[in-house]
Amino acid sequence: MWRHTYVMFPVTLVGPRVCWREMSPADAEALHDLLVHPAVFDKTLDEDVPPADALRDYLREQLGTLEDPERARYKLALTLDGRVIGTGGIELRGRHTGEVGYVLAHDQWGKGLATEAAALLIDFAFDDLGLHRVIGHTDPANIGSRRVLEKCGLSFEGVHRSDTLQRGEWRDSAAYAIVEDDPRPWTGQRGDGPGGSYALRTAKTR
């Protein structure tokens, strides 16, 4: 049985204000600075924030995986006026489902940028990756993140009890989802960045 494997590289998703693009080793210091902020770190699942040099080495290693025909993780940098202000992306969960995630620098909270950024990722998941379902999880107490998911059209599906391990403590998570036929009340309004929104290559495999 034949199937199509779509390899999207490099990915660039341009919205009215923000832009998602592939990460590079040059982003290490900016990523470290935004992740080390206490308010941001509190929202992540990482045990700690690696030093900028360690992040740079990790990003350099990841460059070799971006054109993998079985690419399942679109981990991107979020920029505003060319400056890195966040990270996130889509991670495939099987053939038809992807999970959306995003982290935004603390000084950019409350400006609607997270909603625009998440909507761009959701549009990408459905319109380009051809997924059927996109899910999102967040701390039930994180009202801001829950509002972002709701504004992007995701429906609340319940609380998963004690399913997330955060620095040695089991936490609940609020589960959200949207399927391809659901309305998307807030789209990413994607435009074309330099060189187009992405490069698409198609390979046939058995």
Q: How confident is the model at residue 199 (pLDDT cuts 50, 70, 90)?
A: very low
Q: Reply yes or no on whether the pLDDT at 58 is more than 50.
A: yes
Q: Region 41-49: what's the mean pLDDT?
A: 82
What is the C-alpha separation between 149 and 95, in angstroms, rounded?
22
- In this prediction the pTM is 0.87
What's the distance, Cα to Cα, between the start and end of the chain in Å? 6
What is the C-alpha separation between 178 and 136, in angstroms, rounded?
9
Q: Region 148-172: what's the mean pLDDT?
A: 92
Q: How confident is the model at residue 190 (pLDDT cuts 50, 70, 90)?
A: low
Q: Reply yes or no on whether the pLDDT at 38 is more than 80.
A: yes
Q: Region 15-42: what's the mean pLDDT?
A: 95
Joined together, the tokens standing for residue 148 give: 């972002």
Share of the chain above pLDDT 70, in %: 87
Tens of pLDDT, residue by residue over 65-109, are 888 888 999 999 999 999 999 999 999 999 999 999 999 999 999
pLDDT at position 185:
86
Q: Region 7-35: what's the mean pLDDT?
A: 93
Q: Reply yes or no on whether the pLDDT at 205 is more than 60.
A: no
Q: How confident is the model at residue 43 (pLDDT cuts 50, 70, 90)?
A: confident
Which residue range(s) make up the domain with 137?
A: 3-205
86's CB contacts (< 8 A; 6+ apart) are 34, 77, 78, 102, 103, 104, 105, 108, 113, 114, 117
Q: Give me the CATH number covering residue 188.
A: 3.40.630.30
- Look at the chain and report how many structural domains it folds into: 1
